[in-house]
Structure 1
Amino acid sequence: MNKAIISFVISALLGFGLGYLVFDVILGNSDSQPQVAQTETKDTSATKTESKDTAAKTTSANEDNILNKRGCLGCHSVDALNLKGGAVGPDLSQAFVNVEGKHGKSIEEFLKAPTSAVMSGVIGKNPLTDDERKQVLELLKQSSEAK
């Protein structure tokens, strides 16, 4: 009886291990591929003010924005800019104004040296350059003003 249980446990562990190896490592994890942000289309019947707002949202949501380039949209979204991303991390629409209250430092300082365990691991492995940090701050400021 004990041999049967031990054989079953070993077989199950080998099966799960091989499944992980084949489906996650070899075939690739689809979640780790870059996220492409969706853009908001411009309504032709809108007023000039609404058109400017829509154009700003479309411009910020293009594939070349810094949040997409750096993979931020893999975990986060920015609903205020219509940037659809992952749901694992919080929405960053109000991060520009809320980070200091949550983490005890300004957003710029947080992006240099995050205090949260997850973000310190993410940014610590691949820190933002000064130019990238400036671009992120501009987008986050724009998103905080949009809502």
Structure 2
Amino acid sequence: MKNAIIIFFVFALVGFGGGYLFSQSGSQEQATAPDNAATEQTQNTADDEKVEAPAPAVSPEGEIFNQKGCLACHSVENLGLQGGATGPDLSQAYVNVEGKHGKPINEFLKEPTSAVMSSVIGGNPLTDDEINKVVEALKIASEK
């Protein structure tokens, strides 16, 4: 019985670790995809001149989510940011995190109380400046 429990925990850790690595590789591709797509998409005009298609608009406050890979798992619908479906939509996180996790959002981003976010942020910690940008963006999202 003891061996079965140990084996379970080993496989659980490997599963979470593999999921984390997979989500990080997906976030790096996703973070660069809009820039690459904008430069690769062209259309022909009547004079056979090539014109670059406009890049998808990301609001200035939403750029931090793109840069840090948050959109690999999360969306922020109120900012028009589509992302992964693994994590919850963060549109109301500014309002809900303290009640759900027992600490203000800026403290949660430094030391998350959820197991998944602890492993994600532990492997890629946010600077104080990045935390401030995320908190400000989530505040804007919650007000929309």
Counterpart pick for 2:83 among 78, 82, 85: 85
Which structure features the higher share of strand residues? 2
Once residues 61 and 137 of structure 2 are traced to their aligned partners in structure 1, the CA distance between those partners, rounded to angstroms, is 10
Find runs of 4+ consecutive structure 1 residues off by over 3 angstroms.
29-32
Q: Which residue of 1 aligns with 2:130?
A: 132
The SS at the match of 1:141 is: helix
Question: Structure 1 length normalisation: TM-score?
Answer: 0.60
Deviation at 1:126, TM superposition (A): 1.2
Structure possessing the higher radius of gyration over alpha carbons: 1
Gaps of 5+ in 1: 1-24, 38-56
CA contact (8 A) 1:61 1:83 kept: no
- The alpha-carbon distance between structure 1 residues 31 and 110, as it changes in their structure 2 partners (threshold 3 A), is same
- Provide the C-alpha distance between the structure 2 equivalents of 1:78 and 1:66, rounded to a whole number of angstroms: 12
Aligned mate of 1:34, from 22, 27, 30? 30
In the alignment, which residue of structure 2 is the partner of 1:143? 141
Q: Tell me, what secondary structure is at the counterpart of 1:34?
A: helix
Q: Aligned pair 1:118/2:119, yes or no? A: no
Pairing of 1:48-63 with structure 2 (within 5 A): 59-60=59-60
Give the whole-Å Cα distance in 1 for the aligned partners of 2:111 and 2:68: 16
1:47-103 residue CA offsets vs partner (Å, 9 max, x unmatched): xxxxxxxxxx953376xx110000000000000011010011000000000000110
Query: Which residue of 57, 68, 71 maps to 1:70?
Result: 68
Q: What's the C-alpha RMSD, in Å, of the aligned pairs?
A: 2.4
Asked whether the 8 Å contact 2:61–2:133 carries over to 1, the reply is no
Q: How far is 1:125 from its partner?
A: 1.0
Q: 1:34 Cα shift?
A: 2.2
Distance 1:130 1:78, change over 3 A: same
Q: CA contact under 8 A between 1:60 and 1:81: conserved in structure 2? A: no
Deviation at 1:111?
0.3
